[in-house]
Structure 1
């Protein structure tokens, strides 16, 4: 499921989203990973939360800037807040 009303447009918002996923705050069952991807039909970039069968559990649209610059953040995970 992708929420069309929520677009992540800063790296700080992406990091906060990753912390929510990692912390279990979104109530997702079987969340196994997070990836930056593009929508097959229109090429729009998104961050995708995937289950252990690589099926989409939750997605949020991201800006092109976040897509290009957030790859390391998604790969390494969000930093723990101090």
Structure 2
């Protein structure tokens, strides 16, 4: 997660990331859940993708604002658009 260009800084980017995870666009195998967390070392927030053993498969940094405003989107998933 050291690539600063991959910081999710808008709800649109968070939605796109979540849809990519749901649709298999990241090539991750065994995805069982997504959550938000805080790095203990520096206090930065991230969104994480986990497998059934709660092993981290992929993560992206998120801004403080997205940590607050994107919780429901992560918790309940992205609603399909018609």
TM-score range, shorter chain: over 0.9
**C-alpha RMSD of matched pairs (Å):** 1.1
**In the alignment, is the contact (CA less than 8 A) between 1:45 and 1:67 conserved in 2?**
yes
Compare relative contact order (CA 8 Å, sep 6+) and give the higher one, 1 or 2: 1
- Distance in 2, matches of 1:10 and 1:52, equals 28
Residue in 2 that maps onto 1:26 = 26
TM-score by length of 2: 0.92
TM-score by length of 1: 0.92
Q: Secondary structure at the match of 1:31?
A: coil
The number of residue pairs the alignment matches comes to: 81
Structure 1 unaligned segments of length 5 or more: list them: none
**Deviations 1:18-54, CA, capped at 9 Å, x for gaps:** 0000001111011110001011211100000011111
**Deviations 1:44-78, CA, capped at 9 Å, x for gaps:** 00000011111111000000000011000001101
Structure 2 unaligned segments of length 5 or more: list them: none
**In the alignment, is the contact (CA less than 8 A) between 1:30 and 1:52 conserved in 2?**
yes
- Distance in 2, matches of 1:81 and 1:39, equals 33
Q: Secondary structure at the match of 1:79?
A: coil
- Map 1:31-50 → 2, pairs under 5 A: 31-50=31-50
